[in-house]
Structures are given as structure tokens and as C-alpha cells.
Structure 1
Amino acid sequence: MAHPTEAELGSAEELGVQLVRLIRLIHRAKSQMGKKGPDGIEQSAYAILFHLVQDGPQRTGRLAESLHSEISTISRQSNALVQHGLVARQADPDDGRACLLAPTAEGQRIFQEARDQRTRWLAEVLADWSEADRRALNDLFARLNTDIETRTPNLTELTCSPQAEGGHE
């Protein structure tokens, strides 16, 4: 792989700054909008519900892997979702000893309400943008996400590189 040019590094640095800014703004917006649903469920537990609605019933281990979380954390959060009737346990058809977590009808309703709220908010944010700009943003975000998915860095390579050891940052 060729070394990036100074211009490419400058663009990447600016993108990094803007992505960090975006993540902070999203976190702030999420906390201000609050969560829909029963009290006593951690905000992060809704990520489990999202994955189950989007990807179908799953084992706890697969959810932990997808969410980059510990199995114990996923178990605790999914137990709260089960207790509130948003997720149900069902037998795994491939292994009767194991169980899958699946969204209930109420869980799907809560998920859809949250998605609708997010969609309305984003439509409001982009209301002054032209259709061409909205389409371009969606296309570029999709491309960025795909490229990030296919080029996830190997963390051991990043931490063992001479530049990382030199303390530049």
C-alpha cells in the first residue's frame, strides 16, 4: 500500500475531526431526545434491540461480538429487555440447548418509534439542504461506511508501528 500524500493526510485529519464532532453531537442529541420505553433500561440496551430487529434472533455471544461488548454486559442488558417485554428468549433451532434472543411485538413497536423520531429529526436537520445534497450525503456516507468495514485496522499493527512508539500525536 502506497504511503498517503500530505494532502491526503490533511483531508483524513479534517475528516477525523469532523467525525469526532459528529459522534459528540449525536450523543448530545440522543441524551436530549431521551429514550422511549420503560424506565430501568439502560440506553445502551437499545443497541441490542436494534440488532435483533435488524438482523433477526441471535445468541448472546453473537450480540456481544457485534456490539463489541462483554457477554456479561449483554446478558444483563438483555435480561432487562426480557423483563420489560421487549425481547423474548426462544429455543435455537440449530441447538436445542441454546437460546436465541428475539424482539417481541412491543420491542419492534418501541424500535419503530425511536426510528421514526430519529428520521423526523434528521429530516428537520436537512430541511434546508437541496435534494441533490441530501442524496450526495447519503451516497458518500454509504461509501465511507463500506470502506471502513473493509479496511478495519489491525490494532496490533497500529500500536507496534515505529510511529506509534515514537509518541507522535
Structure 2
Amino acid sequence: MADREQCAELAHQLRGAFAVTREIARRMPPQTPLTAVAVLSALDRHGELRSSDLTELLAVDLSVTSRHVAYGVERGWIERAPDPYDGRSRLLRLTAAGGDVLRASSTRAAEVLADHLADWPDDDVAQLSALLARLRGSFGDHTPRTPRISRVHAG
């Protein structure tokens, strides 16, 4: 079991890890912010979603989700379709163009990491990835996440 001193050091390292995310974001095309990539990724992983379900997956406020979805819709990355089982709701889905943007963004992020980890042994990269997944799991993030998706029609 980790003691408080180890946990304090880990907290320090995690704060510093934001530099990694900032560098990845900096090297993305300006029209593809990481927030947009997160939305596209969720739709790719989970398929059609209502905005409320996407909000739960992203763990953000509905207004934030709406803003990010509007950004993706304007660019043709996301489409809204009527929910055939609830006329008040819209289903969000990834378009082919959105899939292309997601793949290009994933490739770019991998390139950025590869540039910075070029001198790391493959086993170290794999171990770090596994440990980060374990850490996320300890906080309740068991990706792929399964929200309480209100799929009345999913059966």
C-alpha cells in the first residue's frame, strides 16, 4: 500500500504530466482541439448517443457538451438525427469525416509521444500505459466506459 509520501510524489508527477497533454494539444491542427477529439472518440467507441449520455461519458456539463457537439456539427464531423423512439431527443453519430479527423488526431498524438519517447524501451512504454490504465481504473474509469445510457430502443 502506498504511503502518503509516495502519494504526494505521485500527485506532483501527475501535475507535471499536464505538460504532455499541452504538448500534444499544441501540435494538433488548430481546428482539432483535444476537446473535439474527446467527443469524436466517445462517439466512435459508443456509437449513437443522446447528448445527455455523451455528457455523462465526458463528465462535463450539458452546456459544454452542446458547445463541443455544435463545433463538430459545423465541421461535418458529427450529425444529429431524430431519435425514432423519442421525438424530443436527437441521436449524435460520428460521420465518415469525423472518423477521418479522429484517426488523423490519434496518429498525430502517437507521433508526438513517439518523438518524445524515442529513447524509451518498448517495455517501459507498455508498463507506463498499463499503470496509467490501472490508475484510471482505481478512480472508477474503466474505459470503455458504459454510462447509464438511456437506450429505450436498444433491445
Native 8 Å contact 1:50 1:111 kept in 2: yes
Structure 1 CA distance for aligned equivalents of residues 112 and 52 of structure 2? 33
1:17-72 Cα offsets, whole Å, 9 max, x none, are: 0001002x0342134213364xxx76533322221112211111112222222212
TM-align CA RMSD: 2.2
Q: How do residues 46-125 of structure 1 correspond to structure 2 at under 5 angstroms?
A: 46-125=37-116
Structure 2 CA distance for aligned equivalents of residues 73 and 128 of structure 1? 38
Native 8 Å contact 2:37 2:105 kept in 1: no
Paired position in structure 1 for 2:127? 136
- In structure 1, runs of 5+ residues without a counterpart are 151-169
Any idea what SS the aligned residue of 1:19 has? helix
Q: How do residues 147-162 of structure 1 correspond to structure 2 at under 5 angstroms?
A: 147-149=138-140
Q: TM-score, length-normalised on structure 2?
A: 0.78
Task: Decide whether aligned partners of structure 1 residues 125 and 30 sit closer, same or farther in structure 2, where only a CA change above 3 A counts.
Answer: closer
Residue type of the alignment partner of 1:11: Q
Q: 2:24 aligns with which of 24, 27, 30?
A: 30
Structure 1 CA distance for aligned equivalents of residues 114 and 16 of structure 2? 20
1:130-169 Cα offsets, whole Å, 9 max, x none, are: 222222222222221211217xxxxxxxxxxxxxxxxxxx
The percent identity for this pair of structures is 30
- Cα offset, 1:118, TM superposition: 0.7
Q: Which of the pair is proportionally richer in helix? A: 1
Paired position in structure 2 for 1:11? 6
Residue type of the alignment partner of 1:116: T
- In structure 2, runs of 5+ residues without a counterpart are 142-155
Q: 2:16 aligns with which of 2, 9, 21?
A: 21
Task: Decide whether aligned partners of structure 1 residues 94 and 26 sit closer, same or farther in structure 2, where only a CA change above 3 A counts.
Answer: farther
Q: How many pairs align?
A: 141
Structure 1 CA distance for aligned equivalents of residues 24 and 118 of structure 2? 19
Task: Decide whether aligned partners of structure 1 residues 56 and 27 sit closer, same or farther in structure 2, where only a CA change above 3 A counts.
Answer: same
Greater RCO (Cα-Cα under 8 Å, separation 6 or more): 2
Task: Decide whether aligned partners of structure 1 residues 111 and 22 sit closer, same or farther in structure 2, where only a CA change above 3 A counts.
Answer: same
Structure 1 CA distance for aligned equivalents of residues 49 and 126 of structure 2? 33
